[in-house]
Amino acid sequence: MNVPDGLLDTAWTVFAWVVFAATALLAARRAPWRLLTDSARLNAFLAMIVALILLWHLQAGVKPGLSLHLLGATVFTLCFGWPLAFIGLSLVLLGVTLNGAAGWQAFAVNALLMAGVGVAVSHAAHRLVDRLLPAHLFVFIFCKGFFTSALALIAVGLASSLVFAVAGTYPGQYLMDEYLPYFFLLGFSEAWLSGMLSTLLAVYRPQLLADSGDALFSGRE
pLDDT digits (tens, 9 = 90+) for 26-84: 999 999 999 999 999 999 999 999 999 999 988 887 788 888 999 999 999 999 999 99
User: Would you mind telling me the total number of residues written for the chain in this entry?
Assistant: 221
Is residue 220 over pLDDT 50?
Answer: no
CA–chain centroid gap for 149, Å, is 8
- Helix then strand count (H, E) for the chain reads 9, 2
CB 199 within 8 A of CB 145: yes
pLDDT in tens, 190-216: 999 999 999 999 989 988 998 754 545
**Which of 88, 48, 203 shows the shortest CA–CA distance to 137?**
203
Classify 10-208 by CATH class: mainly alpha
